[in-house]
Amino acid sequence: MTSGALSRPWRLGLGDASYLLPDEKELYTLLRQRVSYINRQGHSEAVLGGRVLLERLVAARRARTLRNALESHHQLIALSSCDEECRWQRSN
């Protein structure tokens, strides 16, 4: 990475913070500020470590969001199949 790229760590594909809950957004913001400060001090390894933490935070939230969506989808399928089974039993 070039020093120019390190001066713009948020343009390196860190991820979308919109998946985060309010308390996670606060943590994300604090980590981001800390990484920016470390970057200004010229510690590129620490900046990369901070970016990894931020990426993991966003990835963990995305995984929870996806898991919740899948669970809801499976619950809807289970409810609809139960509904069909109940209709079949009523008709017989």
pLDDT tens per residue across span 43-67: 666 667 777 777 777 777 777 777 7
Closest CA to 20 of 54, 48, 62: 62
What confidence tier does 11 reach under pLDDT thresholds 50, 70, 90? very low
DSSP notation for 25-90:
HHHHHHHHHHHHHHHHHT-HHHHHHHHHHHHHHHHHHHHHHHHHHHHHHHHHHHHHHHHHHHHHHH
What confidence tier does 18 reach under pLDDT thresholds 50, 70, 90? low
The structure tokens listed for 76 are 């809807």
